[in-house]
Amino acid sequence: MQPNTLLDALLDEAGISHAGLAAHVNQAGRARGLALRYEHTAVARWLKGQRPRGQVPDLICEVLGARLRRPVTLDDIGLGVPGGAGVTHGSPLSGFVERATALWRSDEQQRPHILGAAAVTGTPAVMPVWEWENPPEDADVSREGRTRVSMSDITMLRAARAHYELMYRRAGGIATRARIVGFLNAEAAPLLRGGYNDALGRQLHRATGGLVAVAGICAYDSDAHGLAQRYFHQGLRLAKASGDRGLGAYVIALLVNQSLFMGEFRQAVAFAEAALRTAGRQITPALAADLYAMQAKAYAHIGDGSGALRCIRRAEAEAERIRPGHEPDETGYVQPGLVNVQVAEALLSLGDLSGAREHAAAAVRTPAHDRGRVHRLAMLSQIELRQGEADRAARTAAEMAERARGMESQRLRDRLREVREHLVASGCGEAREAAGLIDGALRVPL
């Protein structure tokens, strides 16, 4: 089940509580000869994605329509089709926009059923990628609306994406997410509902897609995996509307990374293949290098050494083709050394410690932003421990902890705890001091 953000948004707009909606539905049901006894707990289940039985969806429309003094349809409340609240693909853009902006609103209001939603697996996880990859395309994305969108609005959205991405790199996703979601609600939502021609609309959807992708990254970094996945799926739909296959491939790379974290290794391989195949010439060397490197990690985790090594070679070849200044803003995260640390992780999974050490050390020697450097140092420390160099690993971990201080990131905290646990288990002389530094970095409140 996916949370019904459309119903949640209409309840908020109507100013009606969960208990109030249940009471009004019961009353409306009595007028039709129905003996209903719903309470606020039933409404909470509806908001979590459960579909009400029988005539109840129609009664909800009746109650909310009377309260809002306008017609309210089943599509408006996310119940037009079973599971409709979670649909973002395979529907007209106008319906997608309403669903997307309803999610942003619920996220900003920190609705528990949104924040705690689990990531979907199986067919629901695969379908958004399949629908991005296959026809039909959006023939015309123009829209009539009160607010006329201009190129200055597009420029503002692009600048905001760069700003929030930099904030994420410096402070972490937990600190950044509320700010970017607030911006989506205040600035991006009115523009998507505004008026624009097809050409400008495609640029608008591309710029918004870049922002939504960063919101998904921040949700992922906050351990809200179901929410992150929904943002990534939104990003794919926006990329399709923009006609930019490269943007779609970038969003799929984010889904590949999440799949790796969730242990869905075969899905990670398949998603990366879809991005590489479908984006074709629109995919840049930086993005191709990252996709091949993540594929290598996935193959290594499922024990396919030949597949991993093949992807490592392709990742390294693509990395050599990267030309600074010729990449889109979104692929700026593929900094020098990123492929090295990805390859190091793959080789570590394959048991090639010396090869992993060589790549991890090369990654650490290469300049990177603080967040990236923390991950690189964590990987090197882990390899040094595996090679029996515990004191050296402790010194590497100490530098890692200093770099991580002040960052509000659940992923970094997980990495720091993992390194600390292995250091303490080693019993080396410098482990206690390094563990203390890691504890200090972990004291940042989340």
Give the C-alpha separation, 174 to 401, whole Å. 18
Maximal CA-CA distance, the chain: 78
| Residues 79 and 95 placed together within one structural domain of the fold | no
Q: What tokens appear for 100 in the block?
A: 């997307």
| Residues 15 and 121 placed together within one structural domain of the fold | no
Give the C-alpha separation, 106 to 12, whole Å. 9
Residue with tokens 């023939």: 139
Question: For position 9, what pLDDT does the model report?
Answer: 86
| Average pLDDT per 10 consecutive residues for the chain, totaling 446 residues | 85 90 93 91 92 91 90 86 44 83 91 88 93 93 93 98 95 94 96 96 98 98 96 97 97 98 97 95 95 98 97 97 91 93 96 96 92 94 94 93 90 92 86 89 69
| Residues 112 and 184 placed together within one structural domain of the fold | yes
| Residues 192 and 231 placed together within one structural domain of the fold | yes
Q: Is residue 175 part of a domain?
A: yes
| Residues 48 and 134 placed together within one structural domain of the fold | no
Q: Is residue 329 part of a domain?
A: no
Structural domain span for residue 116: 91-243
| Residues 159 and 204 placed together within one structural domain of the fold | yes
Question: For position 90, what pLDDT does the model report?
Answer: 44
- The residue count of the chain comes to 446
Q: Is residue 185 part of a domain?
A: yes
| Residues 100 and 238 placed together within one structural domain of the fold | yes
Peptide bond into 336 cis (omega under 30): no
Q: Which amino acid is at 399?
A: E
Question: For position 359, what pLDDT does the model report?
Answer: 97
Domain boundary residue, one of 176, 209, 243: 243
| Residues 134 and 103 placed together within one structural domain of the fold | yes
Q: Is residue 358 part of a domain?
A: no
Domain boundary residue, one of 243, 271, 296: 243
Q: What tokens appear for 185 in the block?
A: 């609600």
Q: Is residue 302 part of a domain?
A: no
How many domains are contained in the chain?
3
| Residues 107 and 233 placed together within one structural domain of the fold | yes
Q: Is residue 289 part of a domain?
A: no
| Residues 112 and 221 placed together within one structural domain of the fold | yes
Q: Is residue 341 part of a domain?
A: no
Question: For position 5, what pLDDT does the model report?
Answer: 87
Q: What tokens appear for 253 in the block?
A: 């790379």
Q: Is residue 316 part of a domain?
A: no
Sign of the alpha-carbon dihedral angle for 120, 125, 253, 212: negative
| Residues 51 and 117 placed together within one structural domain of the fold | no
Domain boundary residue, one of 86, 105, 122: 86
Question: For position 394, what pLDDT does the model report?
Answer: 93
Within 10 A of 365 (CB to CB), how many other CB atoms are there? 11
Q: What are phi and psi of 127, to 5 degrees?
A: -55, -45
| Residues 73 and 104 placed together within one structural domain of the fold | no
C-beta of residue 216 within 8 angstroms of C-beta of residue 231: yes
